[in-house]
Amino acid sequence: MASELSEAEALRALGDPTRLHIVEYLAGRCCAPADDMGLQAATAGEVCCHVSGEVKINSTISHHLHELEEAGLIRMNRDGRRVLCSANRPALKELADYLAKLAEGDYDACC
């Protein structure tokens, strides 16, 4: 998230309540089984069940997941027939650091 565009994309993605809820859910999966990269992950179906209460993933949740992946906030990896979703913790930390600098008046924004 080295550019202002990336930060804008991440903030836009988080501006949707459903996408924010998905990121909160994935970021809070500290006790979940790890995927092949060692990340705590949930299947796309588990995300859908948690967010919408439906067992089968629907196109709306799929769209939200892809938006979050495009913004760099989550990672999606195929594991056979399953798609594993995990929070991109380094990107979330970078975004949090960016916002902290803005809040503290510590951001150098030369025009």
* Residue 86 · residue 26 · CB < 8 Å: yes
Is 108 part of a structural domain of the chain?
no
- pLDDT, tens digit (0-9, with 9 covering 90-100), for 62-94: 999 999 999 999 999 998 999 999 999 999 999
Q: Pick the residue with more confidence: 11 or 52?
A: 11
Sign of the CA dihedral 51, 55, 58, 64?
Answer: positive
Question: CATH number of the domain that 70 lies in?
Answer: 1.10.10.10
Average pLDDT, integer, range 87-111: 86
- Single-letter code of the amino acid located at 81: R
Residue 20: its pLDDT value, please? 96
Residue 68: its pLDDT value, please? 98
Is the per-residue pLDDT at 3 higher than 70?
no
Residue 79: its pLDDT value, please? 85
Residue 53: its pLDDT value, please? 87
Residue 61: its pLDDT value, please? 93
State how many domains the chain has: 1
- pLDDT, tens digit (0-9, with 9 covering 90-100), for 6-51: 999 999 999 999 999 999 999 987 555 555 555 688 999 999 998 8
Residue 94: its pLDDT value, please? 94
What range does the domain containing 90 cover?
4-103
Is 61 part of a structural domain of the chain?
yes
Strand locations in the chain (E):
42-43, 74-79, 82-87
Q: How far apart are CA 12 and CA 19, in angstroms?
A: 10
